[in-house]
């Protein structure tokens, strides 16, 4: 099988990341991925794993944790979603994306297993998650870090038996699918906690923490909490990165440096240290030097990523109120600019009103757009109506047009901020071919 043939086969499966109007509890079935992985020999159990869920920061925490583990010299897998420009970004081994040849080779293995079964076909995410399991197994990875796709309890990554489960800050998201209260959403996320394992959680709202704590008690999981068992202190935070101190479960880490921008990344790094230290309960000790080096060298594109300086162009995948607030706070704190020109494209199942309430106060003008590849992208006309007449607004039909418009209007000392969706950020990022 060739790589283009593998892509065509993958595209034949339903992709809920792009689709609109589906029922989460009817469409997401663990039985499908369980059957698929069993037929493949349960490759997800061949490699020790770390499982990360949450609303905001789960990708960053996964990337930082992965960076620390490979700094220790371990062969480490990383599975994240969605991608920005190339779907091979979702599967990494140390510093490399999965190759086109490996994708083709593994699809060739998976296809007869799927075609030989009766019953409902798996989704794109389920097939690609199974592919990641196979890849890390065949490559004899020492450890693999998995970010959940949607929720946790019914997610295709939830056939793992992780050494450590981690939960980043939980806020309102996908309320039509995960639940209308923080407790209901937390219940879905906490579904990744396994019996007898270790769970590390970020600081949470009381309603959320109570759910996580209760699930840990029911499943006999050891619970470690940022803010209690792990603490951090910011020393410096600017447009080049941050310096901070962390007091962990087993040690202290003074004057750590992180190149990921924003104070929220300090909290994410502290959570990653909690994950890394919790591996000791499974007999895995990571050196302080690897922790320090891994945090310093961690890269996570599309999250407060500076891709140009004159004018300043910043990409960030914030897509709910909590992430938009963290973004707005970071922009005000670390960047210096004359006017902020917002390029905004959002999926229609997101809290658009919440995003606007956080981002409009920092914006001088808005270019509204939409992703060309996502069925559930919100109509720019509807976003414009929600903004009202308080801002100068330009509507565009695609991200390329939006970027052309914003950059043509921006002065040398202005800031162009692209946000609202990782799909929009990914399309904008393709203009900057020199970035990695």
Q: How do the domains of the chain map onto residue ranges?
A: 3-297, 305-429
Over residues 139-149, the pLDDT tens digits come to 999 999 999 99
- Rounded to whole angstroms, how far apart are CA atoms 76 and 61? 15
pLDDT band for position 269 (cuts 50, 70, 90): very high
The pLDDT, as a whole number, for residue 63 is 98
pTM of the model: 0.95
pLDDT band for position 278 (cuts 50, 70, 90): very high
Question: Is cis: bond before 37, omega within 30 of 0?
Answer: no
Nearest to 87 by CA among 18, 23, 31, 160: 18
Percent of the chain with pLDDT over 90: 87
The pLDDT, as a whole number, for residue 433 is 64
Mean predicted confidence (pLDDT) in 5-31: 84
Over residues 60-72, the pLDDT tens digits come to 999 999 999 999 9
pLDDT at 324 > cutoff 50 = yes
SS3 sequence of 324-375:
HHHHHHHHHHHCCCCCEEEEECCECCCCHHHHHHHHHHHCCEEEECCCCCCC
CATH class of the domain defined by 305-429: alpha beta
pLDDT band for position 17 (cuts 50, 70, 90): confident
Mean predicted confidence (pLDDT) in 135-164: 97
Mean predicted confidence (pLDDT) in 142-165: 97
- Rounded to whole angstroms, how far apart are CA atoms 263 and 253? 17
Residue that wins the pLDDT comparison between 347 and 25: 347
Tokens of 6: 């593998």
The pLDDT, as a whole number, for residue 60 is 97
| CATH number of this structure's domain 3-297 | 3.40.1190.10
Mean predicted confidence (pLDDT) in 131-160: 97
- Rounded to whole angstroms, how far apart are CA atoms 413 and 403? 17
Mean predicted confidence (pLDDT) in 7-27: 82
Return mean pLDDT, the chain.
Answer: 95
The pLDDT, as a whole number, for residue 435 is 52
Q: Name the DSSP class of 377.
A: B
Q: Distance of CA 153 to CAs 9, 24, 45, 199, Å? A: 27, 11, 18, 15
pLDDT band for position 436 (cuts 50, 70, 90): very low
Mean predicted confidence (pLDDT) in 354-383: 93
pLDDT at 19 > cutoff 50 = yes
How many residues are present in the chain?
A: 436
pLDDT band for position 389 (cuts 50, 70, 90): confident
Over residues 210-239, the pLDDT tens digits come to 999 999 999 999 999 999 999 999 999 999
């Amino acid at each position: 099988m060739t790589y283009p043939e593998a892509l065509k086969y993958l595209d034949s499966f339903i992709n809920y990341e792009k689709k609109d109007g589906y029922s989460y509890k009817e469409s997401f079935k663990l039985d499908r991925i369980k059957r698929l992985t069993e037929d493949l020999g349960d490759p997800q159990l061949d490699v020790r794993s770390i499982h990360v869920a949450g609303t905001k920061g789960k990708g960053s925490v996964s990337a930082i944790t992965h960076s620390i583990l490979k700094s220790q010299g371990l062969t480490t897998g990383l599975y994240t979603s969605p991608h920005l420009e190339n779907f091979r970004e979702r599967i990494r081994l140390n510093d490399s994306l999965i190759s086109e040849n490996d994708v083709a080779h593994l699809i060739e293995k998976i296809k007869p297993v799927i075609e030989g079964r009766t019953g409902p076909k798996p989704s794109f995410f389920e097939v690609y998650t199974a592919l990641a399991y196979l890849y890390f197994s065949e490559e004899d990875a020492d450890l693999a870090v998995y970010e959940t796709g949607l929720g946790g309890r019914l997610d295709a990554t939830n056939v793992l038996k992780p050494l450590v489960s981690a939960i980043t800050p939980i806020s309102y998201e996908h309320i039509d699918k995960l639940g209308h209260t923080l407790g209901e959403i937390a219940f879905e996320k906490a579904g990744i906690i396994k019996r007898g394992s270790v769970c590390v959680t970020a600081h949470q709202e009381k309603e959320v923490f109570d759910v996580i704590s209760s699930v840990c008690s029911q499943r006999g999981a050891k619970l470690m909490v940022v803010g209690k068992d792990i603490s951090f202190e910011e020393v410096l935070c600017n447009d080049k990165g941050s310096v901070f101190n962390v007091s962990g479960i087993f040690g202290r880490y003074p004057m750590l440096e992180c190149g990921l921008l924003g104070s929220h990344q300090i909290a994410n790094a502290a959570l990653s240290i909690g994950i890394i230290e919790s591996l000791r309960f499974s007999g895995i000790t990571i050196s302080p030097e690897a922790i320090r080096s891994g945090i310093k060298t961690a890269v996570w594109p599309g999250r407060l990523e500076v891709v140009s300086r004159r004018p300043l162009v910043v990409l960030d995948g914030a897509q709910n109120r909590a992430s938009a607030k963290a973004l707005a706070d970071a922009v005000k704190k670390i960047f210096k600019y004359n006017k902020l020109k917002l390029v905004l494209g959002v999926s229609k199942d997101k809290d658009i009103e919440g995003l606007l309430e956080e981002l409009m106060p920092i914006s001088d003008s808005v270019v509204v757009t939409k992703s060309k590849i996502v069925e559930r992208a919100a109509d720019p006309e509807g976003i414009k109506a929600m903004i009202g007449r308080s801002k100068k607004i330009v509507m565009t039909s695609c991200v390329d047009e939006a970027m052309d418009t914003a950059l043509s209007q921006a002065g040398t000392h202005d800031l162009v901020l692209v946000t609202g969706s990782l799909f929009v950020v990914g399309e904008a990022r393709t203009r900057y071919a020199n970035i990695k």
